[in-house]
Structure 1
Amino acid sequence: MGRESLQLKPGKMLCVIWSEEFLKLFAKNLCLRGSDSESMDLKDSLHTMLKGGEDYDDLSKPVPNLKGAVIEAIHELLGEMEESASNIAAQALDHIHSNEVIMTSGHSKTVEAFLKGAARKRKFQVIVAESSPSYQGQKLARNLAEAKIETTVITDSAVFALMSRVNKVIIGTHTVMADGGLKALNGAHALTLAAKHHSVPVIVCAAMFKLSPKFLCSYDQDTFNKIVSPHDILGFTEADLVSKVHVQNPVFDYVPPDLINLFISNIGGNAPSYVYRLISELYDDDDSDL
């Protein structure tokens, strides 16, 4: 199911993530049928590991109330997704302090909610890289300015020059990969590299449903990335150049985990090295190759 979705929508990693979360919910309700709510997790049961999986259930038998249980679990998952941004924003005061200078890039609704949550009780300044050629950073800057947050828009080329004045870098992401790296908006890699050079901590705001059990394969850019029209970079009006150059306009960057200091999700903060544990709790090993 996840593989077919990825073939239909290359680069749509969230299709795979949601497919795997659904399978985990279905398998959990299927395995726990007929047992009480205090049953142990079969995956973590030493007894089950020693038995070597010799006992099998007859899956041809009808399962009472399975449909209702799965639907209820899906509603709980959807509710968690809807409340994830507010849960992340509630942690803002623990990470943003008065008179700090925060740098971000692009427009992430989660980061916007996070900054607005801190602005209710703290005064700070935000520097927003405009994220050319999409210029999503301008939209974020406008929304923050309307919320009475002191905001400055800069070009992407000015990120390194201003990084020495910054206290924290806070960004969002499209997907958190299995190794703790990011599939983030183009320009995020350069931003985090500049932050590391100046020893500025990088915080990533990402809900749990953005965690993926997939790793980046350097040769699999067609699946990982999304290449869009280069018209915004080199328009057809430049007719004398169009026939002489081949322009790639990728939407996403891969950010290695060693450039990230902290993940803030709807369940709290974690280091990139802990992502593997969160993924093992979210997904079943049998569903990792969808």
Structure 2
Amino acid sequence: MDKMMDEIVSKLVKDIRYGEIKGTYNIVVATINLLKYLINNANWITAKDLIEIIILNGKHLIDAFPLEASIGNMVRRILKIIREEYMLELKKKSDESDFQESLHKLLTAEAEDDVDFNISVPSLKPSLIDRLNEFELELETCSENITKLAPEYIESNDIIMTFGKSTLVEEFLKTAAATKSFEVIVAEGGPSLRGIEMASSLSEAKIQTTLLSDDLMFALMPKISKVIIGAHTVMSNGGLRAISGCGTIARAAKYYSIPLIVLLPLYKLSPLSVCSYKQDGFTKYASPLSGVISGANAALLERVEAYNPVYNYVPSDLVTLFITNMGSNEPSCNHKLISELYHPNDYKL
């Protein structure tokens, strides 16, 4: 890897690791900016060269942050864009005899291994930059395209339960409140208790809001119309990694046949799956001293082994509907969306 490129990738790793860049969306934007820089400045001639550069640097980022699936998603998305633009640009050359044989092979290939990406296409770089600019605009409007659907899924007199704080869920509810009157019950989301902040913000927006202790979620669930939560990552099988506690609210909703709606910007949709024997590696753990147990009782700490998981795995059979920036779909339809977003050869980088 070129020394300058290595320094740029390493800087992004440090910025994320030390909190200079926080939040999934900001990490996604930073990843796209890095990949765009590589396309503009790395030493490549053919699409094959570029694909190898993106994969090499992408793997470095993915290995550094295995739980930030959105990074790998963006690497795969860019690789799909490279392949698509290469084929489009090569097709434009179809009238030139030198390209006839290669074009025919490209367009009739049944597998990725049959596609020749070694043809130099000078117009590929500007074409890619234009396409990436369009993709960046799509990312900017992602949340807006989800929140504007809120009035279609929230009815007047609904009683909605949510868990902790999700900025996207917050904006979704506020958008619906502009035209509908409904009640929101916010589970406090221990141990971080960010539901307190969520409830306060919704109340300030004149939405009838009740803050609820987490241990009362199951008892109040029969009164609920629907549950709406966000997600950190949604897997190919429709299961999701969500903030710890969402698994409890999802199971309570399932028990009482209450719809569970998950708001899903598509940059969080991963082609990867998770199996039960891998779920221990599906989360990260915060210090138990972060609101779980008191550090003042040293004698107790010596006898207690405590875990404070940051995320839960919520199985697909607990999810009723995903609302994405491209509309809504059931978990069983995720495979179709994934095939539109990523190339099969990039699922496993």
- The answer to whether the 8 Å contact 1:11/1:222 transfers is no
Q: Secondary structure at the match of 1:139?
A: helix
> What's the % identity of the aligned pairs?
42
Give TM-score, length-normalised by structure 1: 0.91
Q: CA deviation at 1:155?
A: 1.1
Partner of 1:88: 146
Partner of 1:39: none
Paired residue type of 1:251: V
- The answer to whether the 8 Å contact 1:6/1:223 transfers is no
Cα deviations across residues 172-215 of structure 1 (Å, max 9, x unaligned)? 10111010111111111110100011111111111111110011
Within the candidate set 175, 200, 208, 1:117 is matched to: 175
Partner of 1:17: 73
The alpha-carbon distance between structure 1 residues 136 and 282, as it changes in their structure 2 partners (threshold 3 A), is: same
Q: CA deviation at 1:240?
A: 1.1
Partner of 2:346: 287
Q: CA deviation at 1:223?
A: 4.6
2:274 maps to 1:207: no
Q: CA deviation at 1:225?
A: 1.1
- Larger fraction in helix: 2
- The answer to whether the 8 Å contact 1:10/1:226 transfers is no
- The answer to whether the 8 Å contact 1:160/1:191 transfers is yes
Within the candidate set 102, 123, 126, 1:65 is matched to: 123
Paired residue type of 1:137: G
Q: With CA pairs under 8 Å and 6+ residues apart, which has the higher RCO, 1 or 2? A: 1
Paired residue type of 2:73: I
Q: Secondary structure at the match of 1:230?
A: coil
Paired residue type of 2:161: M
- State how many pairs are aligned: 281
Partner of 1:181: 239
- The answer to whether the 8 Å contact 1:131/1:187 transfers is yes
CA distance in 1, matches of 2:112, 2:142: 36
Q: Residues 1-290 of structure 1 correspond to what in structure 2 (within 5 A)?
A: 1-36=57-92, 47-49=108-110, 56-57=115-116, 59=118, 61-221=119-279, 223-232=281-290, 233-290=292-349
Q: CA deviation at 1:47?
A: 4.9
CA distance in 2, matches of 1:287, 1:150: 46
The list of structure 1 runs, each at least 4 consecutive aligned residues, that deviate by more than 4 angstroms after superposition, is 52-56
Q: CA RMSD in A?
A: 2.1
Cα deviations across residues 122-164 of structure 1 (Å, max 9, x unaligned)? 0100000111011121121111111110111111111001101
Q: Secondary structure at the match of 1:199?
A: coil
CA distance in 2, matches of 1:157, 1:172: 20
Paired residue type of 2:274: L
Q: Secondary structure at the match of 2:156?
A: coil
Cα deviations across residues 26-69 of structure 1 (Å, max 9, x unaligned)? 12212222325xxxxx9xx99543xx67854361x432222222
- The answer to whether the 8 Å contact 1:103/1:169 transfers is yes
Moved more, 127-136 or 70-79: 70-79
Structure number with greater Rg is 2
- The answer to whether the 8 Å contact 1:10/1:223 transfers is no
Q: Secondary structure at the match of 1:32?
A: helix
- The answer to whether the 8 Å contact 1:110/1:206 transfers is no
Paired residue type of 1:169: V
Moved more, 218-227 or 235-244: 218-227
CA distance in 1, matches of 2:108, 2:81: 23
Q: Gaps spanning 5+ residues in structure 2: where?
A: 1-56, 93-102
Q: Secondary structure at the match of 2:67?
A: coil
Paired residue type of 1:30: Y
